[in-house]
Structure 1
Amino acid sequence: MSFVKVCPEEKVPADGAIAVEVEGTPIVLARSGGTVYAVGELCSHAEVSLAEGEVYDGTIECWLHGSCFDLRTGAPSNPPATRPITTYRVKVEDGYVHVAPDAGAPA
């Protein structure tokens, strides 16, 4: 599995999220509890950017209708979303966030 260097770790806000692109795929990097996660950019319910959502307790909340998703698994934890979002493997090395562009559970 190969990882792509995405951005300096300091660019990902504490308990927040940013939108990035990895090999042409829109992805959200989110930090919760000091850990950086990568998930698909769009909410599975309303297809709006999750980068604008709130991050807390290992979840990211869609700003439009309030659906929350587990940052580790992508599973929705409340309606209206019923489908998971995509997750990507992440590693932080030498102060940079690296993401594996193949979808899957975080490493």
Structure 2
Amino acid sequence: MSGDGFTKVCTLADLPDEGAVGVRIGETPVAVVRSEGEVYAISDICSHAEVNLSEGEVEDGTVECWLHGSCFDLRSGKPINPPATKPVPTYAVQISGDDVLVSLDEKNS
């Protein structure tokens, strides 16, 4: 972890153009997601069913939970459709060269 609270979690080359990878920062599961040319970090655990969001489909700035189909906005973490009703935490992202860094200080909750 760097002194400013950001931790390198992967490289840009590790991220699909419209997709996610699951990483851990300490004990915290994080989904690092690239969508529409932007990189986001959200909790990797769905607020409805506690499965990995990084295994879901990414499209138009959202990630869809593979189990029950709830979609979450990557900017806010808010669910767009049921069955999920609670948002998931989102985290600040920095890009340094090819490195993707994430801070667990929640950006939104």
* TM-score bracket relative to the smaller structure: over 0.9
Residues 1:89 and 2:92 aligned together:
yes
After superposition, residues 20-31 of structure 1 pair within 5 angstroms as: 20-31=23-34
- Distance in 2 (alpha carbons) for counterparts of 1:87 and 1:7: 17
Name structure 1 gaps, 5 residues minimum: none
TM-score by length of 1: 0.94
Q: Which 4+ residue blocks in structure 1 deviate beyond 4 angstroms?
A: none
Match of 1:74 in 2: 77
- How many residues align? The count is 105
TM-score by length of 2: 0.92
Amino acid in structure 1 at the alignment position of 2:12: E
Could you tell me whether the CA contact under 8 Å between 1:23 and 1:101 is conserved in 2?
A: no
- The alignment partner of 2:31 has SS state of strand
CA RMSD of aligned residues (A): 1.0
- Distance in 1 (alpha carbons) for counterparts of 2:67 and 2:58: 14
